[in-house]
Amino acid sequence: MASLNFKQIYQAFFPKLVAYACKNYGINEQEAEDIAQNVLMELHMDIAKVKKMDALESYLFSCVKNDCLDFKNKASQRYNQRIEDNEEFRDADKQCQNCAIEKEEMKKTLRKIVKALPFEYRQVITLRFIFGCTIKEIAELLGITVKAVDGLLKRAKDRMKNEINLKNQFDQNLKKLSYF
């Protein structure tokens, strides 16, 4: 297994790790995909471990098990902290500096919007802005072209902007109605 490159490891283990998390820990498929992706991304960050590791499969399944247990206890805290710490999301947060309530609402809205994105959009947003992968690295990981990654990122950002605008319009209309 040590002779495989990361792309081969990702393709070989991602579906197995997702199924393991769903079946053994009652995690829904979307969250199981997040957990498996996180485990594989942590491995990617220190790919030298693969060359030293004799039992890669056991290691990956143990990591997924631990992350599933963490998820059941505090996954939302960990995920939300990653989003809050990200510079892209901080920019949106700065728009509401004068009002703490609005800041919290914006954070909740962004979390909901990211979680509601289709998997491929959420995947590229997570890889790019939470894990800091380059577009080229994302393309290699997902087995698609750089141009395809650019397109997915643009569509994901556009969808997020659109959702934010729709929410803001709804809130403004609601405020107008409440005056009567």
Count of CA atoms in the C-beta half-sphere (13 A) of 152: 22
pLDDT tens column, 125-153: 888 887 888 999 999 999 999 999 999 99
Which of 26-30, 48-52, 74-78, 149-153 comes out lowest in average pLDDT?
74-78
Same domain, 70 and 91: no
* CA proximity to 39, closest of 73, 1, 8, 13: 13
Q: Domain containing 24: what range?
A: 1-74
Q: What is the pTM of this model?
A: 0.43
Please tell me the distance from the alpha carbon of residue 149 to that of residue 116, in angstroms, as a whole number.
19
* pLDDT of 9 strictly over 70: yes
Query: Angle at the Cα of 71 (from 70 to 72), degrees rounded to 5?
Result: 90
- Report, as an integer, the average pLDDT of 60-76: 80
- DSSP code at position 3: T
Determine the pLDDT at residue 159: 92
Q: Are residues 47 and 8 located together in one domain of the fold?
A: yes
17 plus 50 within the same structural domain: yes
Tell whether 81 is covered by a domain. no
Asked whether residue 66 falls in the same domain as residue 90, the answer is no
Place of tokens 């500096």: 97
